[in-house]
Amino acid sequence: MKSTLVILAAGMGSRYGGLKQMDSIDEYNNKIIDFSMYDALREDFDEVVFIIKKAIAEDFINQVGKRVEKYFKVNYVYQELDKLPEGYKVVADRTKPWGTGHALLCCKDVITKPFCVINSDDFYGREAYNKIHNFLANVKLGAGKMHFAMVGYELNKTLTDNGTVTRGVCIADSSGYLQDIKETKDIKKNGNNGSYYDGNNWVDIKGDTLVSMNFWGLTPEIFSYLEKGFKDFLNNTQDILNDEFYIPTFIDYLIKNNKCDVSVLSTKAKWFGVTYKEDKKDVVNSIKKLKAEGIYPEILWK
C-alpha cells in the first residue's frame, strides 16, 4: 500500500526570524523539505499534503509545490486562526496558531489512507521513512483500537548548540509501545545530555532518552477523535490566547484512554534542522557531506 506524506509547514519561524520552510540550503534552491520528500518518494509515498498559511501560499506553491507535482499527487491545506469547529469564534487578541494538532485536523477532508506526519524544517534521515512506510503498508484498520507508530530519536542527537528546543519526551514499554509522552519546552544542551527549568528547578534528561520529533505514522481513524479533542481543548484551556493543541499531547491522551497503541520505531540517526538562524550553516554542511557520500544526488528534482 502506498502512503501519504503530510508536512506541517504553516509555522512563521519566530525564533528563526523568517520562513525557514522556504529557506534554501544548497545551490539548487532545495529546502530541508525537499530532502524529506525525496526520502519519502524512495519509500513509495505517492501523495503529499502541505499544511500552510494563505499568506505564504503563492510563494510556497511556486518554490516548493510545483517542483514535485510530477512525482506526487499534491494537496494544499490551509491552517488559519478562524478555521474552527461550528459554533466557535476566534477570541480577540489571539495571534498564535492553534498548534500542530489543529494543523493536522485541517487535513481531515483530504486524507483517505494511512499517512505520515512530519515537520517541514526537520531532517529525519532515510531510515525513518523506510520504517514508517513498512509500518503503514501493513497497519490494520477498523480493528477497534487504533494502531499508530512514531519514529523516536535519542535526545542528544536532536539538540542544537544555538538555543533551546521543544521535544516530546517519551517512555516506551519492554514490547516497544509508547506509554507516555510529555511535550517539554526549552530543553538546552548540557554536555551529552539535556536540561530544562520546570519553574522551580533545573531538571536533567539523559542523552539517550527517547524523544519525539513529530514523525508519526497515523491512520484516518484519528480524525473523529481529533475533532472532539480540539473542541475539548477550546472549552477547557486555561490560556486561550497562548495555549496550543499539540499532536504529542493528544496522542498521549489517546494512549492513556486505551484508544490507540503506538509502536516506537527507534533510529540512531542524527537529526538536524533550522530552529535558529545559526543552525543553517550546520545544515548546509551536513547536506554537502551527504551528497559527497552519495546518499543524495547533486540535483534532486530533474
**Residue boundaries of the structural domains of the chain:** 3-292
What percentage of the chain has pLDDT greater than the value 90? 75
Q: Which residues contact 159 (CB under 8 A, 6 or more apart)?
A: 165, 187, 188, 189, 194
- CATH number for the region 3-292 comes to 3.90.550.10
E strand map for 155-268: 165-172, 178-190, 193-197, 202-205, 210-218, 260-266
What secondary structure letter does DSSP report for 171? E
List the one residue out of 269, 176, 217, 289 whose CA is nearest residue 40.
Answer: 217
Helix (H, G, I), strand (E, B) or coil at 149: strand
In which band, very low, low, confident or very high, does the pLDDT at 16 lie, cut at 50, 70 and 90?
very low
In this structure, the strands spanning 210-218 and 73-78 are unpaired
Please count the residues of the chain.
302
- Is 14 a residue whose pLDDT tops 60? no
Place of cell 466557535: 88
In which band, very low, low, confident or very high, does the pLDDT at 17 lie, cut at 50, 70 and 90?
very low
pLDDT, tens only, 164-217:
998 999 999 999 999 999 989 899 999 999 999 988 999 999 999 999 999 999
In which band, very low, low, confident or very high, does the pLDDT at 114 lie, cut at 50, 70 and 90?
very high
Distance CA 115, CA 50 (A): 13
Report if pTM > 0.75.
Answer: yes
